[in-house]
Amino acid sequence: MPPILPDFSNSVKLKYVKLGYQYLVNHILTLTLIPIMAAIFIEVLRMGPDEISNLWKSLHFDLVQILCSAFLIIFIATVYFMSKPRTIFLVDYACFKPPITCRVPFATFMEHSRLNLKNNPKSVEFQMRILERSGLGEETCLPPAIHYIPPKPTMEAARGEAELVIFSAMDSLFEKTGLNPKDIDILIVNCSLFSPTPSLSAMVINKYKLRSNIKSFNLSGMGCSAGLISIDLARDLLQVHPNSNAVIVSTEIITPNYYQGNERAMLLPNCLFRMGGAAILLSNRRSESRRAKYRLVHVVRTHKGADDKAYRCVYEEEDKESKVGISLSKDLMAIAGEALKSNITTIGPLVLPASEQLLFLLTLIGRKIFNPKWKPYIPDFKQAFEHFCIHAGGRAVIDELQKNLQLSSEHVEASRMALHRFGNTSSSSLWYELSYIEAKGRMKRGDRVWQIAFGSGFKCNSAVWKCNQSIKAPTDGPWADCIDRYPVHIPEIVKL
Partner 1 sequence: MAEITYICKRTVVSTKPTQPGKYHSFSVLDHLMEKNHIRIVYYCKSWGEKEAGEITVSLRESISEMLTHFPKVTGRLIRNEKGNWMIKCNDAGVRMVEARAKGSVEDWLKIVDREKELKLVYWEDMIHKPYFWSTFYVQITEFEEGGVAIGLSCFHLLADPICATMFLKAWADKTLGQKMVSPPFFHPLPPRRPINKTSNHKPYADLINHYKFSIENSIPLLDANHTHTTITLSFSDHMVQACMDMVQPTSAPNKPNRPSSPFEALAGLLWICISKVKGLRNGLVNMSLCLDQRKVLGLDKGFFGNCMVCNKVHSNGLEEHNLSQATKVIGEALEKMDNEGIMDLIEWLKHNDSYSHPLMNNCDLICASLETAEPYSVDFVGGFEPIRVSYYVEPTIGIGQVLIFRAPSYDGPLGRVVMVTLPKDEIVKLCEDELILHLSPRILMGVARNHA
Smallest distance from the beta carbon of 140 to partner 1, in angstroms?
Answer: 11
Q: Distances in Å between the alpha carbon of 199 and those of 20, 195, 217, 220?
A: 56, 6, 9, 10
165: CB partners within 8 A, 6+ apart: 96, 251, 253, 275, 276, 277
Q: What are phi and psi of 409, to 5 degrees?
A: -70, -25
Q: Which is nearer to partner 1, 138 or 399 (CB)?
A: 138
Would you say 480 and 313 are in contact if contact means Cβ atoms under 8 Å apart? Answer: no
Instruction: Give the pairing of strands 294-303 and 89-95.
Output: antiparallel
* Residue 436 Cβ vs partner 1, minimum distance, rounded to whole Å: 19
The partner residues of 326 in beta bridges, in order of sequence, read 316
Pair 396, 333: CB distance under 8 Å: yes
DSSP H or E stretch at residue 222: none
Query: Among positive and negative, which fits the CA dihedral 235, 241, 242, 244?
Result: negative
Contact predicate 443/389, CB 8 Å: no
Give Dmax over CA atoms of the chain in angstroms: 102
* Alpha carbons 368 and 232: distance in angstroms, whole number: 35
**Cβ atoms of residues 274 and 140 within 8 Å:** yes
Binding site for partner 1 (CB under 8 A): 100-101, 103-108, 110-112, 114-115, 137-139, 147-149, 152, 495
CB of 487 to partner 1, least distance (A): 17
* 394 Ramachandran zone, left/alpha/beta (phi>0; psi -120 to 50): left
- Comparing CB distances to partner 1, the nearer of 51 and 111 is 111
Instruction: Give the nearest distance from C-beta 154 to partner 1 in angstroms.
Output: 12
Phi-psi category of residue 426: left, alpha or beta, with phi > 0 → left and psi -120 to 50 → alpha: left
**Which neighbouring-strand residues pair with 189?**
218, 249
Candidates 384, 400, 387; CA nearest to 348 is 384
We find the least distance from the C-beta atom of residue 106 to partner 1, in angstroms, to be 8
End-to-end CA distance of the chain: 46
Which has the closest alpha carbon to 295: 284, 305, 303?
284
Q: In angstroms, give the least distance from the CB of 372 to partner 1.
A: 52
Choose between 111 and 156: whose C-beta lies nearer to partner 1. 111
Nearer to partner 1, 147 or 341 (CB): 147
Closest distance of CB 13 from partner 1, Å: 48
DSSP assignment string, 406-435: T--TTTTHHHHHHHHHH-B-GGGHHHHHHH
Q: Which is nearer to partner 1, 72 or 107 (CB)?
A: 107
183 in helix, strand or coil?
Answer: helix
**Do residues 89 and 292 lie in contact, with contact meaning Cβ atoms separated by under 8 Å?**
yes
**What are the catalytic residues?**
224, 303, 387, 391, 420, 424
Question: 137 or 457: whose CB is closer to partner 1?
Answer: 137
SS3 186: strand
d(C-alpha 158, C-alpha 144), whole Å: 10
